[in-house]
Structure 1
Amino acid sequence: MTHPSPRHKHRFIVLDSFRGLCALSVVVFHLHLWQGFSEWDFFRSAGLMVEFFFTLSGFVLAYRYQQEAMNGRGFARYMVSRFFSDLSAASGDVAAVYRVAVAASGP
C-alpha cells in the first residue's frame, strides 16, 4: 500500500473549478461582443464573480498555509515562493502593457 508523500497538497477540485468558471466569466464580461454571448445577463453581472473568486481564493490559500509551519524555514519558504509568483505575474503585466503601448504608438 502506498501512502501520499508529506509534501502532497490537498486540492479542492470543486472550488478550483468554481474559481476557473468565475475567472472565465469575468474575461467574457470584458470582451463586449456586440450581440454576442457576452451580452447575456449572466455575463453582464460578472462583477459578482470577482467577489466570489476572491472569497474562494482566500479560503483555499488560508487552508493551504494553515497546514504549513509559519516559523523559521516554513515562513522563509513561503516568502520566497510568493515573491517569485508575484514577480512572474508582474513581469507578464509589464510586458503586456509595453506591447499595447508600442502597438498604440503606431509606426
Structure 2
Amino acid sequence: MSRWRLEVPTRIFDFTDAEILGLRVTPERSELFYPDTLQLQAFGWFEDGYERPVRRDVTWTSLDADLVSVATAGSEIGKVTPQGAEGLATVRATARNTEGELKADADIRVYRP
C-alpha cells in the first residue's frame, strides 16, 4: 500500500493507494417505473479498512439490455434507464484487484404503466 502526504498551510492530507478487496452496489434491490431513472452507486472495501464510493475504476454492465441500460461514463455513470419492457433486470458493477475481478449486482424490477 503506497502512501502520500500533502501539506498546505492550514491542513495536512494523507493519501493511500489501498487495494480494493470487496465491492457492493446500492440500492441492491429496487423497483423502476418507466420512464423514471435510477442512480446506482458502487462502494469498495479497501485494505486500509475503509469503505468508500468508487467511480472511475468500476465498469457497469446491464445483463438484461432489453430491459435497462446503464451509463458507463461521465457524470451519469451508474444511471439506469428502462428500455420499455417489463421484467427483472440485473445491473453489474465490476472492479479489478491483484487477484482478479470483483463483482456486485443490483436487481431491478421494471414496470410499465
Category of TM-score, reference length = shorter chain: under 0.3
Higher relative contact order, chain-length normalized (CA < 8 Å, sep 6+): 2
Q: Between Structure 1 and Structure 2, which shows a larger proportion of strand residues?
A: 2
Task: Compute the TM-score of the two structures, normalised by the length of structure 2.
Answer: 0.18
Structure with greater helix percent = 1
Bigger CA radius of gyration: 1
